[in-house]
C-alpha cells in the first residue's frame, strides 16, 4: 500500500453550534473530487442538538452516513425522512436545494455520523437537484471468514468473492464509499480500485499498514493512484474508504455554495436572496 499524504481532522463547529471534526479540501489539492469530510461523534446532546436548520446549497453533492443515532432530513423538493444508524442519504444539489437536518429527539445513545461533500462537474452544477436514501433498501454488506465486514455505501465493491452493488450508483465523479470494520488482530486486503483518488478515514480504533505505520481516529490516509489497500487492526477498527475520479477544475467556494467561478458564486447568492431556492 503506497501512501501519498496523511491529513488530520480538526475540531470546529457548524450549523447551530454543532461540534464536529473536519477535513476541508476546498483548495483542490488533496481531496479532489471530494470537498469536505465532516465527522460528528458525541454522546453529549449539547454537542449536536442544535442541528442544521434550513440552509441552501448549490453545485455540490452531500453524502450522509449514520453509524449511531440519527437525523431528520427535510427539503423543498418534498422529501422528509428519518436517517438512522446504518442509513445513507445522497443529495445532488445541482442548481439549488433548501434543506434542514435536525437530530432525532428520541435517540438516547449519542450520535456518530458523517457528511461528505463531493464536487460536481462544472457542466452539471446547474441541473435539477436529486435525492435518494437507503431507508427502504439497506446497504449491502458482507463478512468474510476472518470477521471483516465491508458495507457498500455507494458504488460497486469487490470483497473476497463477493461483488457488492450499492443502491447509490450515480454519484458525481464516479465516487464510491464503503465502511469497513476490522476485528482485533484481523486484516483486509483489497485490489487497486478503478478510481484515481482513494482515501481511508479512520473513524474507530486504530489501524496499521504493512510498512509499520499506525493511524488512529481522525486520520485521513490518501493513497497513490493504483495502490492496493492493506490494513490490520490491533484492537478493532472502523474505516471509511472514499474513491473518486479527480475533476481537476477550478473551485469557487463561499459557505454552502461551490461553483467554478466567482461570478457563479455571486449569482448563487443573488438567487438565494431572491427566494429562488424555495422554502421547506
Residue 105 has pLDDT above 80, yes or no: no
Chain mean position to CA 39: 9
The residue whose grid cell reads 442541528 is 51
DSSP string over 35-65 = EEEEEEEES-GGGTTT-EEEEEEBSEEEEEE
Residue 240 has pLDDT above 70, yes or no: yes
Centre a 10 Å sphere on the Cβ of residue 11 and count the other Cβ atoms it contains: 9
CA distances to 39, 40, 157, 181, 232 from 43, rounded to whole Å, are 13, 10, 32, 21, 27
CA–CA separation, 242 vs 219, rounded Å?
A: 13
Domain extents in the chain: 3-244
Average pLDDT over the chain, rounded to whole? 94
CATH 3.40.50.300 fits 3-244, yes or no: no
Model confidence at 106, pLDDT cuts 50, 70, 90, reads low
Contact 125, 158 (CB under 8 A): no
Q: Which helix (H) or strand (E) holds 273?
A: helix 262-273
Model confidence at 142, pLDDT cuts 50, 70, 90, reads very high
CA–CA separation, 215 vs 208, rounded Å?
A: 6
CA–CA separation, 70 vs 65, rounded Å?
A: 9
pLDDT (tens digit per residue) in 44-61:
888 888 889 999 999 999
Amino acid at each position: 500500500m503506497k501512501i501519498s499524504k496523511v491529513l488530520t481532522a480538526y475540531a470546529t463547529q457548524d450549523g447551530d453550534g454543532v461540534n464536529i471534526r473536519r477535513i476541508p479540501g476546498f483548495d483542490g489539492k488533496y481531496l479532489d473530487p471530494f470537498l469536505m469530510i465532516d465527522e460528528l461523534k458525541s454522546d453529549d446532546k449539547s454537542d449536536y442538538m442544535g442541528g442544521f436548520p434550513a440552509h441552501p446549497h448549490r453545485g455540490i453533492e452531500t453524502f450522509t452516513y449514520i453509524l449511531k443515532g440519527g437525523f431528520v432530513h427535510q427539503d423543498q423538493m418534498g422529501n422528509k425522512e428519518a436517517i438512522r444508524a446504518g442509513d445513507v442519504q445522497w443529495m445532488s444539489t445541482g442548481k439549488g436545494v433548501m434543506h434542514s437536518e435536525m437530530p432525532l429527539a428520541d435517540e438516547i445513545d449519542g450520535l456518530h455520523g458523517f457528511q461528505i461533500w463531493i464536487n460536481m462537474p462544472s457542466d452539471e452544477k446547474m441541473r435539477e437537484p436529486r435525492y435518494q436514501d437507503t431507508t427502504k433498501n439497506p446497504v449491502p454488506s458482507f463478512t468474510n471468514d476472518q470477521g471483516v465486514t465491508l458495507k457498500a455505501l455507494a458504488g460497486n465493491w469487490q470483497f473476497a468473492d463477493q461483488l457488492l452493488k450499492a443502491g447509490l450508483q450515480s454519484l458525481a465523479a464516479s465516487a464510491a464509499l464503503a465502511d469497513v470494520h476490522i476485528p482485533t488482530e484481523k486484516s483486509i486486503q483489497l485490489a487497486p480500485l478503478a478510481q484515481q483518488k482513494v482515501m481511508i478515514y479512520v473513524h474507530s480504533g486504530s489501524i496499521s499498514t504493512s510498512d509499520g505505520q499506525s493511524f488512529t481516529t481522525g486520520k485521513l490516509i490518501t493513497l497513490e493512484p493504483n495502490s492496493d489497500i492493506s490494513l490490520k487492526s490491533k484492537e478493532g477498527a472502523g474505516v471509511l474508504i472514499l474513491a473518486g475520479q479527480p475533476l481537476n477544475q477550478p473551485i469557487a467556494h463561499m459557505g454552502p455554495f461551490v461553483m467554478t467561478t466567482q461570478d457563479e458564486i455571486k449569482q448563487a447568492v443573488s438567487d438565494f436572496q431572491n427566494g429562488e431556492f424555495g422554502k421547506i
